[in-house]
Structure formats: C-alpha cells, structure tokens
C-alpha cells in the first residue's frame, strides 16, 4: 500500500492551519526529511522532467484544472466527461459554498496580515460576490468570522514571538519569517497538461512544504493527490524540489474550529499515482469517451452531477 509509512498519522490541534505544531515540526525534521533524503525521488518523477515520459503529457490539445485531475468523488470519472466534454455546469452544494468561503477567509486574512493591511472581518465580508455562491450569507457568516478571528490571533502571536527574538529586524524581515507563505500563488500547469492559471493554497518557502486546504471533509487517501500535483507543478516551473506535502482539514462545528493535518512524504508512488490520474482524465476529454455511470449506490449524496446521471 502506498500509505503504509504514515497513512494513519493525522495531527489534531488548535487552529494553526499552516503553522506546524512542535510535534509536527519534530516529525518533519526527524522522520519525513530523513526519509526523503534516504529514499529520494526518482529524477524522472521530478516536475522539471516534464519534457520526457512519464511526466510529459500524451495530449497537447487538452488542459485540465488540478481539481479535475485529483478529484475522485465519481467512481468512474464521469464528472470529468460531463464537465469537459458535454460542457455541463455542476450544481454546487452547500458544502461547496462553505469551502469556497473558508478558502477565501484563510487566503485573504493571511495576505492582508502579510501586507500589513488593516482589514477587519466586517469590511472583508462586504466584498464577497454573493452571485457566485449558492448559499444564504447568514449560514456562512459565523463560521467565517470564527476562522478569521482565530487566524488573526495566531498571526499576531507569531509576529510578537519573532519580534522578541530579533528586536533589530525590520518589519518586512519579521513578517517574512513569521508568516513564510505564498498564499494563492498563481502558477502555470501547462507543462504538465494542466491549466495555465493554477492557485496554490499555500507554499511554505522556508520549509519547502506544499499545503492543500480541505473544508468540511473527512480524510481520504486520494486527497494526497492534490498537494503532490501542486508540488510537481512547482518543480516544473521553479525547479525547486518539494519533498513534503500536507493536507489541512478545516471545519467549524457548534461554534468551534477544528483542524487536522496529514503531513507526508511526496514519494515516487504518489507521483506515479498522480500521473496515472492525469493521463486517465486527459484521455477521457481528448477522446470524448463516456466512462459510464457508476453504480448509484456508489454515488456521494452531495455529488454535483447526480441530477444529470439519475434524474
């Protein structure tokens, strides 16, 4: 099995999101990084080998977004066929709306802090384009406020901690050390058969660690595909090795914020799995092949294409 090394290692903790806890930092330093150095990554599976097999895309005329390659909600991948061959727009669920809002909360709050812009939650809330979100604002406001407030407190605490260590550092230096993240970093995935404009949820440039944020989701093995895919894209464009990835699971229940993290080595096996998924889905679109409906009992209740398959 691909995940025998650490597949059950989920870290729980107070909301730190992209900030590692002391335990996670030790796990990174004394297990994941030594494993990455000892086992290594095959040179043909580094993103900068995009021009040769197996990373070179077989089809030049099809480009897909990362979520289409990495999503495995549909057992037969028929969602990819419906969206990119039949051009059918999905019907977003309330869970998708929550995910979209909380992604915005996290990215905008972190970027505002890093840029030292004084934006409060209410001001930010007024900027949301509700025409693009299929949910009532009142159902999303309090979860969003909770995440915004907690994240601001953590950032301020981190900045105060670094200020006390380096009293003569400039504010720019302190911010770069306290919040060392590229958030919603725009990058092209075209070298690997992906869209020209991708957005990384978060990349920690001091630890070379790729994060992906999941909202209101239970951990699944295939969730690891997404940050591994972004690691490959980052390597293909910047030629910087990314050996460790992390899925951050964020949820708000009963007014409390919950975070779990899955920190793992971006191994050869995971990279090969990502390539297989990419090739399979590029073929569906390039050849216009309908993979067929899955058994109805296998379909998630919140599938955005359920209506088109069974109603």
**Residue 287: Cβ within 10 Å count:** 10
Helix axes 225-238, 268-287, angle to 10 degrees: 90
pLDDT digits (tens, 9 = 90+) for 167-197: 899 999 999 999 999 999 999 999 999 999 9
Would you state the pLDDT for residue 233?
98
Identify the pLDDT of residue 205: 96
- pLDDT tens per residue across span 222-241: 999 999 999 999 999 999 99
Q: pLDDT per residue over 39-71, tens digit each?
A: 999 999 999 999 999 999 999 999 999 999 999
Question: Is 302's pLDDT higher than 70?
Answer: yes
DSSP letters along 230-245, please?
A: HHHHHHHHH-----EE
End-to-end alpha carbon distance in the chain: 37
What's the rounded Cα separation, in Å, for the pair 311 and 18? 41
Collapsing DSSP states into helix, strand and coil, what is residue 266? Answer: coil
- pLDDT grade for 75, boundaries at 50, 70 and 90: very high
């Amino acid at each position: 099995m691909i995940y025998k090394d650490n597949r059950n290692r989920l870290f729980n903790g107070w909301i730190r999101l992209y900030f590692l806890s002391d335990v996670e930092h030790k796990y990174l330093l004394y297990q994941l990084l030594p494993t990455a150095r000892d086992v290594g990554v095959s040179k043909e599976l580094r993103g900068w080998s995009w021009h040769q097999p197996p990373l070179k895309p077989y089809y030049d005329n099809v480009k897909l977004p990362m979520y289409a390659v990495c999503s495995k909600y549909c057992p037969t991948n028929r969602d990819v066929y419906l969206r990119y061959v039949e051009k059918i727009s999905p019907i977003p669920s309330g869970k998708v709306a929550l995910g979209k809002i909380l992604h915005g909360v996290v990215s905008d709050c972190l970027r505002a802090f890093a840029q030292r812009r004084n934006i409060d939650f209410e001001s930010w809330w007024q900027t949301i384009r509700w025409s693009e979100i299929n949910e009532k604002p009142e159902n999303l406001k309090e979860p969003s406020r909770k995440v915004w407030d907690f994240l601001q407190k953590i950032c301020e605490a981190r900045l105060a901690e670094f200020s006390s260590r380096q009293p003569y550092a400039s504010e720019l230096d302190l911010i770069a050390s306290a919040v060392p993240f590229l958030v919603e970093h725009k990058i092209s995935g075209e070298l690997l058969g992906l869209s020209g404009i991708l957005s990384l949820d978060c990349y920690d440039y001091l630890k070379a660690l790729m994060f992906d944020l999941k909202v209101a989701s239970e951990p699944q093995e295939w969730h690891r595909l997404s940050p591994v895919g972004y690691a490959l894209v980052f390597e293909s464009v910047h030629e910087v090795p990314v050996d460790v990835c992390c899925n951050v699971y964020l949820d708000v229940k009963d007014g409390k914020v919950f975070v779990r993290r899955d920190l793992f080595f971006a191994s050869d096996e995971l990279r090969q799995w990502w390539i297989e998924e990419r090739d399979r889905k590029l073929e569906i679109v390039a050849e216009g092949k309908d993979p067929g409906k899955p058994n109805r009992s296998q379909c998630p209740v919140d599938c955005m294409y359920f209506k088109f398959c069974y109603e």
